[in-house]
Structure 1
């Protein structure tokens, strides 16, 4: 199944589809109530897709929720192993949409897709939005998640991979943050020594949709080089927009790259080497 689905696909609005609207930020719920796809469940990045970190130096600003908590969240949304889940956000899937897609795939749910272009694709098509909160019917039991989040790496593996020949660590933050010119969210500017930069937004068309699979494959292969996909690690500021790149890679047929969840928000707080460039 393709990780992307177009808003014009009838399956998006099939009554059996679990449709989830993921928002981020302090006014997330307010924005949802201002307009969302009919029958879309409200989800929030900070409360549903991340734990609240006691110390961002351990796990970063958006550590993954416990498997038990995530299983209960999926139960609350009515998701079972047989559910077709369709996700979108209002940031071209760069915030919560791709993160939830990655989390579901990581715990073993394969029947999940993200709307290409997110909420903007719907408004561009003239789809009438709802301002009523949709209340899902919970599943009868927690989702049977896997025993771990698969395809993740910890900070120790990143330390090794960033120096290893044949491995690639990709930083998907914008160039100014990677270069150390500015840092709006974390304490120190710069990047992991040895990491290469591919700004996630470079994979989008002017309309906010992903480039074609062929164009994405070329872009990613230019970055990865001869490394095997399984030897590629993707990170960002806190393990969220990195999932946008992992989704794009999947769409391009590049499977196996791993997520460093803690990302720059963890690395930059651990008194580790930091690289900058003028």
Structure 2
């Protein structure tokens, strides 16, 4: 199943499809109630797709929820292992949509897709939005898997960033990677050895992903001859990195891993930090 689906595909608004609207930020519910796709369930990044960390130095700003909590949430949303799920957000999958897609794929759910272009693609197509507070019918909790797959911890990132046969990709904007600015975390810069590929480079001007062929070219220029399973992707807190992982899947590059803690963890651990100025 392709990780992306177009708004013109009848499965998006099929009553049998479980449609999930992911929002991020303090006003997530207000934006959802202002207009969402009919029968879309509201999911919020902070409450449904992440734990609230006691210390971001251990797990980052958006650590994954426990598997027990996440699968209980899936049950409340009416999701079973055979459910077809379509996810979207209002940020072209960059602030939550791809994160939920990645989480579902990570626990082995096969039937999940992200709406290409997100909410904007739907409104551009003339889909009438709803302002209802849609409530799904709960089912029994989703089976709890043994682990989230395809994640790495900080120790593996330390080793990978120094290895010739591995690559660590930082998908934050260039100014943050170079250490010119840091709006969210405590220190500016990047993991020594990590390469930069801004996540939005995978999008067309209209907010949809580039073609699979164009994405393959983009990513392979960065990955080179490194095997996909030896690729690690990170961002600030493990959210926009999922946008790039989705793009890689669409490009046929399967197996890269997510460093969930990302820069928000690394930058708080008194580890080496590279910037344009220090040249590390």
Which TM class, normalised by the smaller chain length?
Answer: over 0.9
Instruction: Give distance in 2, aligned partners of 1:206 and 1:187.
Output: 32
Deviations 1:93-138 (A, max 9, x none): 0011000000000001010000000000011111110001110000
- The alignment partner of 1:99 has SS state of helix
2:169 is the counterpart of 1:170? yes
Could you tell me which residue of structure 1 aligns to residue 76 of structure 2? 76
Could you tell me which residue of structure 2 aligns to residue 95 of structure 1? 95
Could you tell me which residue of structure 2 aligns to residue 224 of structure 1? 223
How far residue 243 of structure 1 moved from its aligned partner, in angstroms, is 0.1
Instruction: Give distance in 1, aligned partners of 2:167 and 2:196.
Output: 10
Structure 2: which 5+ runs fail to align? none
- The alignment partner of 2:177 has SS state of helix
Alignment of 1:34-183 (within 5 A): 34-139=34-139, 141-183=140-182
Q: TM-score, normalised by structure 2?
A: 0.98
Could you tell me which residue of structure 1 aligns to residue 232 of structure 2? 233
Instruction: Give distance in 1, aligned partners of 2:99 and 2:11.
Output: 21
Could you tell me which residue of structure 2 aligns to residue 266 of structure 1? 265
Deviations 1:208-250 (A, max 9, x none): 0000000000000000011000000000000000000000000
Q: TM-score, normalised by structure 1?
A: 0.99
State the number of aligned residues. 277
Could you tell me which residue of structure 1 aligns to residue 15 of structure 2? 15
Tell me which stretches of 4 or more aligned residues in structure 1 moved more than 3 Å: none
Instruction: Give distance in 2, aligned partners of 1:50 and 1:88.
Output: 17
Structure 1: which 5+ runs fail to align? none
Instruction: Give distance in 2, aligned partners of 1:111 and 1:57.
Output: 34
- Coordinate RMSD, CA, aligned: 0.5
**Do 1:152 and 1:259's aligned partners in 2 also have CA atoms closer than 8 Å?**
yes
**Do 1:108 and 1:145's aligned partners in 2 also have CA atoms closer than 8 Å?**
no
Instruction: Give distance in 2, aligned partners of 1:203 and 1:66.
Output: 30
Instruction: Give distance in 1, aligned partners of 2:120 and 2:192.
Output: 36
How far residue 146 of structure 1 moved from its aligned partner, in angstroms, is 1.6
